[in-house]
Structure 1
Amino acid sequence: MRIGELAKAAGVSVRSLRYYEEQRLLTSERSPSGQRHFREADIDRVGFIQRLYAAGLSSRTITELLPCVDAPSEATSDAAMERMEQERERLSAHIEELVRTRDALDGLMATNRAHRKTLRRAPAAPSSGGQPSRAVA
């Protein structure tokens, strides 16, 4: 199938497929005229790549995990597991930082609420016929 057909079947843009190919996440065969041709199985592969991106993985990390998918073995499985553990640790550290940031924001919001309760509106100045008063220097 051609790139446009794959894009439609997988629900992604042609640009995304070109990027995946550039990053070596997806391969195609070229016709004599240079058109890309993909396999039916590439629909599932694109979906898999999309799920990995949605999980927060970079194209570099995905590239490191794909040998376990493409040529499963004990060695590729071990390498993939090690890489996934590293990514999990990275994500956990990021989550902890986000929680600290959220907690700091909650503190600022509480301080703001408390401050707003102490504010009192100044009484409005008496109106002088609808004209604002002007200070004389």
Structure 2
Amino acid sequence: MRIGELARRAAVSTRALRYYEQQGLIAARRSANGYREYDEDDLRIVTEIRSLLTVGFTLADARPFVACLRAGNATGASCPDSVAVYRRKLAEIDEEIRTLLARRAEVAAQLSTACPGCVRREQGEK
């Protein structure tokens, strides 16, 4: 399939596909007329990349998942390096949650000082 069809089927722009190619995540074959040609494996890889980006992973994070798919695995998550990325990302998210909870507690304390009783009232309104 050509780049336009891959873009349509993967719901990404052709510009994104060219960028993924530039980053070494996908590799187009060239037809005799110079058009980029892709196959179903490329579609699987782009779909995997997009699903990872959607939940906050970076393109660098996606590399082990792509390598896992290229190695012939059914999913990009079935390799030890991919599992390590998942674990690291979960640890990052847990740290972000702790940071947000601490910030929330500080803002609630400041609100409580500025407006006694406001914090309880707002928590109960949910």
Q: Fold match, TM over 0.5?
A: yes
2:79 partner SS: helix
Instruction: Give how far 1:77 is off.
Output: 2.0
Structure 2: unaligned runs, 5 residues or longer: 117-126
Q: Which residue identity is paired with 2:81?
A: A
Instruction: Give how far 1:39 is off.
Output: 0.9
Aligned to 1:77: 79
Q: Which residue identity is paired with 1:48?
A: E
Instruction: Give how far 1:112 is off.
Output: 4.4
For 1:84-95, list aligned pairs within 5 A.
84-95=86-97
Aligned to 1:50: 50
CA RMSD of aligned residues (A): 2.5
Q: Any conservation in 2 of the 1:24–1:63 contact (CA below 8 Å)?
A: no
Instruction: Give how far 1:67 is off.
Output: 2.0
Answer 1 or 2: which has greater helix percent: 2
Q: Does 1:31 align with 2:31?
A: yes
Instruction: Give how far 1:111 is off.
Output: 4.1
Q: Any conservation in 2 of the 1:2–1:35 contact (CA below 8 Å)?
A: yes
Q: Any conservation in 1 of the 2:64–2:82 contact (CA below 8 Å)?
A: yes
Instruction: Write out per-residue CA displacement over residues 81-103 of structure 1, whole angstroms, 9 at most, x where no aligned residue.
Output: 22322222122112221222233
2:16 partner SS: helix
Aligned to 1:120: none
Aligned to 2:119: none
For 1:105-120, list aligned pairs within 5 A.
105-114=107-116
Aligned to 2:104: 102
Higher normalized contact order (CA 8 Å, seq sep 6+, divided by chain length): 1
Q: Which residue identity is paired with 1:83?
A: V
1:25 partner SS: coil
Number of paired residues? 113
If the length of structure 1 is used for normalisation, what is the TM-score? 0.67
If the length of structure 2 is used for normalisation, what is the TM-score? 0.71
